[in-house]
Structure 1
Amino acid sequence: MGAGQSGLQLALGLQAKGYEVTLMSNRTADEIRTGRVMSTQCMFDSALQHERDLQLNFWERQAPRIEGVGVSVAAPDATRPIDWLGRLKGYAQSVDQRVKMAGWLDTFTQRGGQLVIHGASVADLDFFSRTYDLVLVAAGKGELVSMFERNATRSPYDAPQRALAVSYVHGLGPRPEHPETEAVRCNLVPGVGELFVMPTLTTSGRADILFWEGLPGGPLDVFRGVNDPGEHLALTLELMEKYTPWEYARATKVELTDAGGTLAGRYAPVVRNPVGRLPGGGLVLGVADVVVANDPITGQGSNSAAKCAASYLSSILMHGDRPFDEAWMKATFDKYWFTTGMPVTEWTNAMLGAPPEHVLELIGAAGRLQPVADRFANGFDNPADFDSYFYEPEDTADYLAEVSSSLSPVPAE
């Protein structure tokens, strides 16, 4: 159930291994292709590799190669005391999900997969659980999610932590400091929110995404009820001019890619229990953001979805012909949670709060120490790496001292 990054990747992966797969989507490929943008997806190297492994990287040659992650911190006077660029070991890419999901959906049917265009209900799942060996729910919104109980011990927030506003645009100029480098730009405005700018491939070719994350009730939380795409973009640019003028300076000639190129909303980050119980006694397994939905501040949504689909595919293949019982479902989720879900959740929740002093020191040091900038940037690909130097002041201090000493010249005898 669900034709997003995880549902389609898993369906195509199972199909390639000889499984009979039925995929349920509430929209056709053409409806997805011509609809509104769905996300701000930027996928890093290890997530992209899962697509390559299944030979689903259809747009890799066309999409911009994102070689770095830049961080800028705004001061109250709208200058940027911190501004640096970390280099990625392997490039990242963003492909508009309207392009990717429509293309993958067409591929699934061309390869003989059974596609049902229908918004599934819990009653449908009750029937399917008696008909199919395994039912996976990869639709992260709507009635189906209610089957999966919120895990309070893993979900510290019960309300949205950011108000989100997205615009896909043509005509954005390069950052003059690194005009030759395609990069994701993270602009942090303390007490206000964040602006992310990233290259992407959309339905009309190369474009850029302007993505505001505002603290609820704050000066960026002004997009609710704005339904006109032109008004949405004008508001986005007005806020850029006020809070991130260095980004606004390259956006003065932008225009929306299409009438569906804007998106606004909010949701509470949540971790849910992975097994859904149906009224008839059947069980279903939740996938990706059905069970682990983090705020997009760390850009992990599509990355986690790809990693979840790859992990579940491996678990299904290893299980063979045995029944997919509750114990298997829990073990399958746990494998994903401890390798990917938990590190991503810990890092994302840390980034949503006011940064402690040692994190501010770390981000500042990255402007002086290129290895620190590079390691932070590559954490977007492997969030588990933050555990060794990001969360505890002592670990951060030890790491910065180690990098500083390695870069210091050895005194002559």
Structure 2
Amino acid sequence: MRKILVVGAGQSGLQLALGLQSHGYEVTLMSNRTADEIRTGRVMSTQCMFHTALQHERDLQLDFWESQAPKIRGLGISVAVPGSHDPGPSQRAIDWLGRLDGFAQSVDQRVKMAGWMETFAQRGGQLVIHGVAVGDLDYFSRAYDLVLIAAGKGELVQMFGRDASRSPYSAPQRALSVAYVHGMAPRPEHPDTEAVRCNLVPGVGEMFIMPTVTTSGRADILFWEGIPGGPLDAFKDVKDPAEHLSLTLELMERFLPWEYARATKVELTDAGGTLAGRYAPTVRRPVGRLPGGGAVLGVADVVVANDPITGQGSNSASKCAASYLASILEHGDRPFDEAWMQQTFDRYWETARHVTKWTNTMLAPPPPHLLELLGAAGRHQRIADRFANCFDDPSDLENFFFDPDRNAAYLKEVAEAAGA
């Protein structure tokens, strides 16, 4: 029986630990917090997982909250007319809803990670509650066949060198602010459709609103992404949760009056329901080398940390865990050397590279052909649906999104088909 250590109990670390456990590996999972501390703590993220990522959880029989979480069947894009204060449709330059082929879902990570940790322990896994320093890893690298680092923050990440060729940004591109709320009304034009709403305010930032399930039941996540130094970059010194929500709503009223109109009766889900921060999107080299000569393998956002503007964080974590699990199972009894670690990451990068390219594109001012595409999606449901489903499979963006010529050819094809 091969012995594997997973450091970090987030989406990727837990999914990978539980997957290895289900295949008979002797797995130790290290977390710096207990399940109860996670469950009663502050929200850790926004998350909306699309069909492929959800299927990875189903395959491991970890979809414990599927019946409780809202089934998200659409993804909408709205672009604000600058300076608008009318909640009506005339103040949206672009406004459409794409339909997802398979539903998406969001589960508060406090709920999911706590539940998965308890499941891992109940299934006989060795759960160790202890923070890990780089100095500890020399010993662990000798005691285990493989050490996986899935803790995306702190000193452990510094072991993995930045890959400058894949990391165009050296500073944060958005200031992030999150509030989990009860009492959000549905969009009046689609009152019966659970959907993620992506609102773009040119030159200012973005707001995402997504249905979720949290410790107190169904809720909505209000998520601002502000261009640094702009009006949405206002949460850094806000410590009081009520003040955080008040500022969130004030900015909605100013920039997104149609979303504010359905948020007038919201309240925070709990005292831990807010979060603010920022980080630079970074791709790192996958192999961390230890002072004693050993090597460890970075997982998910340890090695590919994208800005959440494209909603891919938890999806990428799930896909990374599934890819690494397959690589470990296929490797059998052979040693997990540095060459294998690099190959394992390269296999995941074939998926992750599309997300990184898309995310970095969306952080920059949009070129004219992308604005034309988003506008055309309001006239052609076929385009809206295709773009919505790219949140599940970003690789399709290569076929019509990035390149102006491919974009023009696709829009021409759709228009001709509609006129036929």
Task: Provide TM-score, normalisation by structure 1.
Answer: 0.98
**Partner residue in 2 for 1:226:** 238
Within the candidate set 274, 291, 294, 1:279 is matched to 291
Q: Give the drift of 1:171.
A: 0.2
**Partner residue in 2 for 1:70:** 76
Please state if 1:405 is matched with 2:416: yes
**Partner residue in 2 for 1:396:** 407
Within the candidate set 237, 257, 260, 2:269 is matched to 257
Within-5 A mapping of 1:382-393: 382-393=393-404
**Partner residue in 1 for 2:3:** none
**Partner residue in 2 for 1:354:** 365
Please state if 1:310 is matched with 2:300: no
* Letter paired with 1:7: G
* Letter paired with 1:72: S
**Partner residue in 1 for 2:87:** none
Within the candidate set 391, 401, 404, 1:380 is matched to 391
**Partner residue in 2 for 1:368:** 379
Please state if 1:38 is matched with 2:50: no
Q: Which ranges in structure 1 are unaligned for 5 or more consecutive residues?
A: none
SS of residue paired to 1:206 = strand
* Letter paired with 1:62: Q
**Partner residue in 1 for 2:313:** 301
Q: Give the drift of 1:392.
A: 1.1
**Partner residue in 2 for 1:14:** 20
**Partner residue in 1 for 2:161:** 149
* Letter paired with 2:171: A
C-alpha distance in 2 between matches for 1:123 and 1:322: 26
Within the candidate set 125, 147, 152, 1:135 is matched to 147
Q: Give the drift of 1:76.
A: 1.2
Q: Give the drift of 1:21.
A: 0.3
**Partner residue in 1 for 2:344:** 332
C-alpha distance in 2 between matches for 1:249 and 1:119: 44
**Partner residue in 2 for 1:214:** 226
SS of residue paired to 1:348 = helix
Please state if 1:49 is matched with 2:61: no
**Partner residue in 1 for 2:124:** 112
Task: Provide TM-score, normalisation by structure 2.
Answer: 0.97
SS of residue paired to 1:21 = strand
Please state if 1:344 is matched with 2:350: no
Q: Give the drift of 1:123.
A: 1.1
* Letter paired with 1:354: P
* Letter paired with 1:84: W
**Among the aligned pairs, what percent are the same residue?**
77
Q: Give the drift of 1:145.
A: 0.5
C-alpha distance in 2 between matches for 1:325 and 1:179: 54
Please state if 1:171 is matched with 2:183: yes
* Letter paired with 2:77: V
RMSD: 0.4
Misfit runs of 4+, over 4 Å: none
C-alpha distance in 1 between matches for 2:381 and 2:93: 16
* Letter paired with 1:273: R
Instruction: Provide, for residues 47-83 of structure 1, a one-character-per-residue CA deviation record: whole Å limited to 9, x for no partner.
Output: 0000000000000010000001000000113210210
C-alpha distance in 1 between matches for 2:307 and 2:168: 12
**Partner residue in 2 for 1:23:** 29
C-alpha distance in 1 between matches for 2:254 and 2:95: 18
Number of residue equivalences: 408
C-alpha distance in 2 between matches for 1:124 and 1:313: 24
